[in-house]
Amino acid sequence: MNEGFTLWFTGLSGAGKSTLANLLADELRLRGHRVEILDGDEVRTNLSKGLGFSKEDRDTNIRRIGWVCRLLARNGVIAISAAISPYREIRDEVRAMHDNFFEVFVKCPVSTLAERDVKGLYKKALAGEIKNFTGVSDPYEEPLKPELIVETDRETQAQSFARLLASLEDKKMINRKGAAR
């Protein structure tokens, strides 16, 4: 069983990355794992303050998250990133810097995200009021070979979570519930 690794959630805003990351972190802590979450919004406030939303700034932000995840993972922590990380090339760069990396694509169409969006950001982006909005006026490049795809418009949160846990257990990245460490 590998102790430290990086679990990288990617997907559009509102797809469910943070929700799944927090559910998983709680479950893993109950199972005795050491876990840290690097949430995209929190990282932008604390680690990447001052960065904008240009491609270069987004890449810098993702590199920083990846570097911190690598540092945590090599010290026996399960590092969970929940950040949009829209560009494939930088996600692949981050993957290459890790020994143990597990990418989860949290897939959901913009139409569903716009319906769910309590803040009205998608409505504003679709109306052209918000510039550089990922998935609307700025690209999101889907991963080509993620370890897992969860489709949050087609399955319940519980189904996505169960598939995620099963996949991590099957790959022996985490211990099974009730199993001795």
One-letter amino acid at 138 equals: D
Three-state DSSP state, 99: coil
Q: Which residues form the catalytic set?
A: 85
Token representation of residue 143: 């991963």
Per-residue burial over 113-147, b if 16 or more Cβ lie within 10 Å, else e, is bbeebeeebbeebeeeebeebbbbebebeebeebb
* Helix (H/G/I), strand (E/B), else coil: 158: helix
- Distance separating alpha carbons of residues 166 and 9, to the nearest angstrom: 16
CA dist 14 and 131 (Å) reads 17
What single-letter amino acid sits at 160? Answer: S
